[in-house]
Amino acid sequence: MKNFKLHLFLVFFICLALRLQADDGYRLWLRYDQISDPEILENYQANLRTIAFLGEGEIFKTAENELLKGLNGLLTQKTQTVSTQTEADIIVGSIGEDFSFLSTVADENPDNKKEEAFIIEGFEGKTYILGTDERGVLYGVFHFLRHLQLQKPIEDIRISQAPKLKLRMLNHWDNLDGTVERGYAGFSIWNWHQLPEFIDKRYIEYARANASIGINATAVTNVNANSLIFREDYLEKAAALADVFRPYGIKLFLTARFSSPIELGKLATADPMDPKVQQWWKEKTAELYEKIPDFGGFLVKANSEGQPGPQEYGRTHAEGANLLADALAPFGGVVIWRAFVYSEEEPVDRAKQAYDEFMALDGQFRENVMVQVKNGPIDFQPREPIHPLFGAMRKTPVMMEFQVTKEYLGQGTHLVGLSNMYEEILQTDTYQFGENSTVAKVLDGSLTNQKLTGMAGVSNIGTSRNWTGNLFAQADWFAYGKMAWNPNSKSDDIFEEWAKLTFGHEEQVVQTVSSLLDRSYEACVKYMTPIGLHHIMGPGHHFGPGPWVSEMSRADWTSVYYHKADSEGLGFDRTVTGSNALEQYHPMLAAKYENMETCPLPFLLWFHHVPWDHELSTGNSLWMQLVREYYEGAEIVSHMKEDWENLQGMVDEERFEHVLMHLEIQEKEAKWWRDACLLYFQQFSKMEIPADWEQPEHDLDYYESLTFPYSPGIRPRW
Amino acid sequence: MKNFKLHLFLVFFICLALRLQADDGYRLWLRYDQISDPEILENYQANLRTIAFLGEGEIFKTAENELLKGLNGLLTQKTQTVSTQTEADIIVGSIGEDFSFLSTVADENPDNKKEEAFIIEGFEGKTYILGTDERGVLYGVFHFLRHLQLQKPIEDIRISQAPKLKLRMLNHWDNLDGTVERGYAGFSIWNWHQLPEFIDKRYIEYARANASIGINATAVTNVNANSLIFREDYLEKAAALADVFRPYGIKLFLTARFSSPIELGKLATADPMDPKVQQWWKEKTAELYEKIPDFGGFLVKANSEGQPGPQEYGRTHAEGANLLADALAPFGGVVIWRAFVYSEEEPVDRAKQAYDEFMALDGQFRENVMVQVKNGPIDFQPREPIHPLFGAMRKTPVMMEFQVTKEYLGQGTHLVGLSNMYEEILQTDTYQFGENSTVAKVLDGSLTNQKLTGMAGVSNIGTSRNWTGNLFAQADWFAYGKMAWNPNSKSDDIFEEWAKLTFGHEEQVVQTVSSLLDRSYEACVKYMTPIGLHHIMGPGHHFGPGPWVSEMSRADWTSVYYHKADSEGLGFDRTVTGSNALEQYHPMLAAKYENMETCPLPFLLWFHHVPWDHELSTGNSLWMQLVREYYEGAEIVSHMKEDWENLQGMVDEERFEHVLMHLEIQEKEAKWWRDACLLYFQQFSKMEIPADWEQPEHDLDYYESLTFPYSPGIRPRW
């Protein structure tokens, strides 16, 4: 008998060891391992033994399974399902009069009447998890499990939440051949070839992970779209995905190529005013809804970067969007029309074009059209001021488009916590409805009275076993979900929560992980594009520095177009003496930027052409400020690496090594950005890098000579 | 205390449950789970407690780690390392006089003196695992662990093995952009972009899996080669891979693009007789060996399917190969030159061209050149007769090239056990050195007295979590390794061994899995290309049936070139009345095929144009035989699916569902092949499918109209 016990011990430790050794990051933040604090565990075990599930439906069933699975893992005990409330420690059901004894139900909280809302309350020794609908229940269950993972008390738990935005969406820039435009985590997880029959287990885990952070919609195809997705066999493939997503409360969207009636329908035109074109879209949409009754709608990139669109037929974006909106309306579908457009002819500052184009159309879109606007006016640069359309466009629902993938922020290898960027943008005041008209408030519809509200994140998910390639990029996916649920979320909370969910509760680990995430965004901006520089990366693949890029098929794809370095100074004059892009902002916001002396340093070179020797608020000349920021950015990365190294032995070896290798690349590449950019700009400034600082390893010719023909995430070649 | 024990129990079962639920196939055949038979476990536990490792070196250390890891897992007990033989239950060391008391050492077994050989012997209560060198030790350790996984007795163990072939190699057709030509398991596992800094854990697991089945070489780049691999930064990336492979006894090879001196060296020519070209290759090779001291050599596809080669300069394949051989010779490197060539002008039957080209060059190659020949004369068709070069080319070492990936055998979704195909080819008698001159004997050098011997398998490995996409495709990788180690291996043994290693010892499971593998190859040949048909698949991607393909850029890429269906009959006359490809075989082998009446049915239409109503040895007309075989092939797949369904509950749910979904696709596609091909050929035969048999679901126009623009595994577009 003693031997037997010993034996069990051994098995136990081997199981643990296997788990510790083999942490490949696949489980994301959904790690239902035993609660590590013994007292808390004992408390949970004693008080969470039985559950009554009072509800039904496909999504409710998902919540049921998830709660049982979660509790079994976290409490390492078998949770019992019971049929009456009396027997139950946990009651899962619907918010309503039956539960009016709960303070969260009884109070006047308007959230309790919104869709997808939930409450969690402890009352007389029982825990109630109630939703306004099935999705609400599911979100409540995930929230409760997270509450336990975070080892918070359950006695006086009292939580009431409703999402601030209705559409919380991922955009996959995934191509039908399995490549991903701007994807740095391997290739597409969608195996279109083997759909609809073969359902990869990852599809289910994907839906589950998204549901756990409140994401309720996904567009699985690239905005540089392919009309093949509308061919009957592909619609069946898409329907199989929708079937997987449905029990997790996630609606499927597809990208619509505007010329599909020509390519697939064999029509002579895609003119939105042509009745045959209108008929084609109506029939195709009806076919779609026959296969996918809860289909979300179309996401469209038109007349931008070579994509076909209504302007080819002399029609406006509104006329194009309305064509699709009319086809979708009978089924309750939505058109999401991207405002990321700029002319082929480059007549004016690219930063101004989307605003000019779309402001003129405000009021002309159908009710079921949303306009999706990138956070800044150029294109996901490391740091941009807010897009001027936020708050300005009022008669049309405006959706945020954030990057989660890191096209311009270190791609697959750099640790950069995007949450700080999301927060910075969302908390920026547009002033469009008076002071405190933050972007967050514009998005949630409270200022504009919009019924449709939403946020889209360009996915960073790929075939990598840990989903995001770079382990810390999981934190961006997580943060994006949190921000879409509540755009007023605080990054600091998100970082700490993710750290605990992902790495456990050891204090040094939590602090280091949170701090790495917190410092990293500013560091990246500094070693790539400090003081408002932008769009100075390598051509095409956007990997590495490329301030010297001057020969592209169009001027506004070059770097020199944006930094305008010359012997006098550096930066893009967007004031009244320059492109006057500033005029697109509310005067109160514009006033913050328009004066070179008072413009915040992070946006100085975005809005001003500044002389090299101009003394800035820091007391440094522009040149020295530039040098200092580049060096500081690289230095922070070195510190980040050291901090991580100090966690050796506190984090399982596999994840420790994985992160360390990426930090080593980041350290090397931060210096590469610093040295290449400073050497390049030095040609114009003719000023020095202090002699006692680490000097560039190579000369400028070397950096300019580097080529990366197979850098990942590039466009497909068709 | 009782509670505590209960607690342990629960943890134990949850660990087990987690493992059962989450079997994603990643561990391949290296599943070191607890031995399931309690008696055998107890015996192993009692007799394998302590190990003395008597040796050193990087590979020896790998063997040491693997043995400890394996025993800890299989025996669920901590194995002790001891320093003396007296204390040890297991002794790991070198074959030699010290161990002359062992019968395997004392006997006259010549294997005991060969490189990479090992013995395992039980003697006076101890188990000896000894190698002639470090690799031998590593292979011995893996063999011993497999012995335990198979739950075989250890008391009288007495095993002595040496590999029959020296070079046991994988060929990856992986491109530098991450795509894989003819890859159906996702994309390339080599993340060139993040090398050399980021070492994916899979690289290590890859090396380990290969070492476990005796593979000792790998060419990681596509034979449709890219000269960029020779750029300095890429050589460093390659060196990082070589560093990972080295401790597992695996040598790195690279594919050499013949025009590299032009593309990378900026020379005006790649003429092998040009001194500057010779110098370029010498310097590049020296640079390579500086970074990778044990570099294996170059694998080359030249003057074939658009690849550059020596013939552009009026030089022969031998002159081209010798150019590289001279550069490699000082470092002990080898050139592997592929015989898969056919002229751009299609002057004669494509099946004849490689033989014509290479027989003329026999004797002209340097000593460090091997010629790598595909198993059959066309191109990895579901079934081909052997390539006529085997046994005929005698003055040059000839290597086998087998497919492990299934370009023409169902790609990513069909269960087809390739081992039967390997065995069929290897056991075919070439008669070149008298009777019983099998291909296996030609390859092992015993007939030709060649010092260099080898086999290459075109890898089926990709980013899929289970490595091969289709779970049963792991068996092909495993079988390939076994056949390369010993070309006289028996498929039946391999199937059973793989079944046990992968799915455990339950009898019905082992029998079903083995039987699926055993029946599947013949089934696939029948539903795709029965009676010797070949090359009738979809164009380009090679997915699905395409007997109607007639318009390609060259005739010998079409289907009609190969099946030659007309109103009279079907098949390619390769006898003296036709292309006379038969003359390339030894007369005794040719005699088996040359008569339409006696030619074995599997090769009938390969060698003969047979009238539709011709009565075959089965008593059926050709047409009825064709119909019967197509139907039988599809029927076997349906039976395979049923047999698998009967394993529900005996195999973990994840793998059960995974395999079932693929079998459902296979069943559907088998019928697709059957119906499309029979409807097509019926146009010529004008004969009927029996009316009471299941009729084709669609008409021929439908099948011909299907297109698959993003079918996986296609060529890169550059």
Q: Which are the contacts of B191, defined by CB distance < 8 A and separation ≥ 6?
A: B178, B198, B200
Residues B563-616 have pLDDT tens digits of 999 999 999 999 999 999 999 999 999 999 999 999 999 999 999 999 999 999
CB contact (8 A) between residue A14 and residue B228:
no
Distance CA A444, CA A133 (A): 20
Residues across chain B: 718
- Chain B residue numbers with beta carbons less than 8 Å from the beta carbon of A228 are 709-710
Greater pLDDT, A305 or B513: B513
What sign does the dihedral A6-A12-A14-A20 (CA atoms) show? negative
- State the CB neighbour count (10 A cutoff) for residue A598: 10
- Residue B111 has a pLDDT of 83
Whether A497 is a known active-site residue: answer no
Confidence of residue A19 (pLDDT cuts 50, 70, 90): very low
| Residue A379 DSSP symbol | S
> What pLDDT digit, counting tens, does each position of B417-467 carry?
999 999 999 999 999 999 999 999 999 999 988 999 999 999 999 999 999
Which residue of chain A comes nearest to B718, CA vs CA?
Answer: A717
CA-based nearest residue in chain B for residue A78: B10
How far away is chain B from the Cα of A185, in angstroms, using its nearest Cα?
10
Residue ranges and CATH numbers for the domains of chain B are 28-161 (3.30.379.10), 167-489 (3.20.20.80), 526-572+609-705 (3.90.1330.10)
* pLDDT tens column, A233-274: 999 999 999 999 999 999 999 999 999 999 999 999 999 999
Confidence band for B220, pLDDT divided at 50, 70 and 90: very high
Q: Which residue of B has its CA nearest to A412?
A: B194
Residues of B in contact with A12 (CB under 8 A): 8, 11-12, 15
Q: Which residues of A touch B78 (CB under 8 A)?
A: 10
| pLDDT higher than threshold 50 for residue B18 | no
* Cα B110 to Cα A516: distance, rounded to the nearest angstrom: 61
pLDDT of B109 reads 80
In sequence order, which residues have a C-beta less than 8 Å from that of residue B9 and are 6 or more positions away? A8
| Inter-chain CB pairs, A–B, below 8 Å | 114
DSSP A467-532: SSSSGGGHHHHHHHHHHHH-TT--HHHHHHHHHHHHH-S-HHHHHHHHHHHHHHHHHHHHHHSGGG
Q: Are A88 and A52 in contact (CB under 8 A)?
A: yes
Q: Which of A710, A715, A717 to mutate to test the interface with B (most CBs of B within 10 A)?
A: A710
Q: In chain B, which residues have their Cβ closer than 8 Å to the Cβ of A197?
A: 661, 664-665, 668
Q: Does A77 touch chain B (CB under 8 A)?
A: yes
pLDDT for B24 beyond 50: yes
Summarize the confidence of residues A141-163 as an average pLDDT: 97
By the 8 A CB rule, do B194 and B176 touch? no
Q: What six digits make up the tokens of A691?
A: 């002699």
Task: Give the pLDDT confidence of A448-463 residue by residue, as tens digits.
Answer: 889 999 999 999 999 9
Per-residue model confidence (pLDDT) at position A17: 45
| Chain B neighbors of A229, CB-CB under 8 A | none
Whether pLDDT at B1 is above 60: no
Directed axis angle between helix B622-645 and helix B653-685, to 10°?
170
SS3 content of chain B, % helix, strand, coil (to 5): 45, 10, 45
Q: Does B192 touch chain A (CB under 8 A)?
A: yes
Q: Is there a contact between A5 and B5 if contact means CB atoms under 8 Å apart? A: yes
pLDDT digits (tens, 9 = 90+) for B168-215: 999 999 999 999 999 999 999 999 999 999 999 999 999 999 999 999
Q: Is the pLDDT of residue A13 over 50?
A: no
Cα–Cα dist B360/A463, whole Å: 48
Say yes or no: A2 contacts chain B, CB-CB below 8 A. no
Confidence class for position B718, pLDDT limits 50, 70, 90: very low
Which amino acid is present at B690? P
Taking the Cβ of residue A693 and every Cβ of chain B, the question of whether any pair is shorter than 8 Å is answered with no
Separation in Å, CA of B610 to nearest CA in chain A: 37
Whole-number percent of chain A with pLDDT over 70: 96
Give the pLDDT score at B6. 46
Could you tell me the pLDDT band of residue B9, with boundaries at 50, 70 and 90? Answer: very low
* pLDDT score of B710 more than 70: yes
The single residue listed with the structure tokens 């010329």 is: A259
Q: Which one-letter amino acid corresponds to residue A639?
A: H
In this prediction, residues B264-276 reach a mean pLDDT of 98
Report whether B260 contacts B220 (CB < 8 A): no
Residue A487, phi then psi, degrees to nearest 5: -65, -10
Which of B76, B193, B661 faces A711 most closely, judged by CB atoms? B193
Q: Does B201 touch chain A (CB under 8 A)?
A: yes
Q: How confident is the model at residue B493 (pLDDT cuts 50, 70, 90)?
A: very high
Establish if B717 touches chain A: CB-CB under 8 angstroms: yes
Q: How many Å lie between the alpha carbon of A190 and the closest alpha carbon of chain B?
A: 10
Asked if A193 lies within 8 A of B717 by C-beta distance, the reply is no
In chain B, the percentage of residues whose pLDDT exceeds 70 is 96
Q: Is residue A221 predicted with pLDDT exceeding 50?
A: yes
Please report which confidence band the pLDDT of residue B22 belongs to, taking 50, 70 and 90 as the band edges: low
Contact with chain B for residue A178, Cβ under 8 A: yes
Give the separation between CA B102 and CA B85, rounded to whole angstroms.
14
**What pLDDT sits at residue A16?**
47
Q: Which of residues 300-359 of B touch A (CB under 8 A)?
A: none
Q: What is the pLDDT of residue B413?
A: 98
Measured at the CA of A402, the angle between CA A401 and CA A408, to 5 degrees, comes to 125
CB contact under 8 A, B178 and A12: no
Q: Which of A15, A221, A222, A467 to mutate to test the interface with B (most CBs of B within 10 A)?
A: A15
* Strand spans (E) along B162-284: 167-171, 217-219, 251-255
Check residue B541 and give its pLDDT. 93
Test A412 with B193 for CB contact under 8 angstroms. yes
A108: confidence class by pLDDT, cuts 50, 70, 90: confident
Q: What percent of chain A shows pLDDT beyond 90?
A: 92
Greater model confidence, A80 or B9: A80
Compute the average pLDDT of residues A672-698: 98
- Specify the pLDDT at position B636: 98
Tell me what the pLDDT averaged over chain A comes to: 95
Q: What pLDDT was estimated at residue A715?
A: 61
The 8-class DSSP code of residue A52 comes to E
pLDDT in tens, A444-501: 999 988 999 999 999 999 999 999 999 999 999 999 999 999 999 999 999 999 999 9
Active site residue B87: no
Cβ neighbours of B73 in A, within 8 Å: 14
Q: Which two tokens stand for residue B146?
A: 């497999």
Give the SS3 label for residue A50. Answer: strand
CB proximity B194 to A under 8 Å: yes
Catalytic residue, chosen from A66, A111, A349, A379, is A379
Nearest CA to CA, how far is B101 from chain A (Å)?
37
Over the stretch B364-398, which tens digit does the pLDDT of each residue have? 999 999 999 999 999 999 999 999 999 999 999 99
Q: B41-45 — which CB contacts under 8 Å span 24+ positions? A: B41/B75, B43/B154, B44/B74, B44/B75, B44/B148, B44/B154, B45/B75, B45/B77
| Cross-chain residue pair A178–B712, CB shorter than 8 Å | yes
Q: Is the dihedral of CA A388, A391, A395, A399 positive or negative?
A: positive
Looking at the predicted structure, is the pLDDT value of residue B2 above 50? no
Asked if the peptide bond before residue A545 counts as cis, ω within 30 degrees of 0, the response is no
In angstroms, rounded to a whole number, what is the distance separating the alpha carbons of residues A379 and B401?
A: 49
What is the structure's pLDDT at A462? 97
Catalytic choice (A66, A133, A271, A407): A407
Q: Which helix (H) or strand (E) holds B517?
A: helix B507-528
pLDDT, residue B110, reads 82
> Do A104 and A143 touch, CB atoms closer than 8 A?
no
B286 touches chain A (CB under 8 A): no
Q: What's the pLDDT band for A180 if we cut at 50, 70, 90? A: very high
Enter the ipTM.
0.95
> Tell me, what DSSP letter sits at residue B247?
G
Residues of B whose CB is below 8 A from A662: 198
A305 an active-site residue? yes
CA distance B41 to B531: 49
Q: How wide is the angle at C-alpha B375 spanned by C-alphas B371 and B378, nearest 5°? A: 100
Judge: B463–A186 Cβ closer than 8 Å, yes or no. Answer: yes
Distances (CA, A) of B580 to B257, B351, B573, B574: 34, 10, 8, 5
Cα gap A569→A576, rounded to integer Å = 18
- Find the range with the poorest average confidence among A336-350, A579-593, B247-261: A336-350
Per-residue model confidence (pLDDT) at position A381: 98
Q: For CA atoms A665, A668, A670, A676, give the dihedral sign.
A: negative
CB proximity A72 to B under 8 Å: yes
- B240 near A CB under 8 A: no
Strand order in the sheet with B118-123: B80-82, B50-53, B90-94, B126-131, B118-123, B158-161
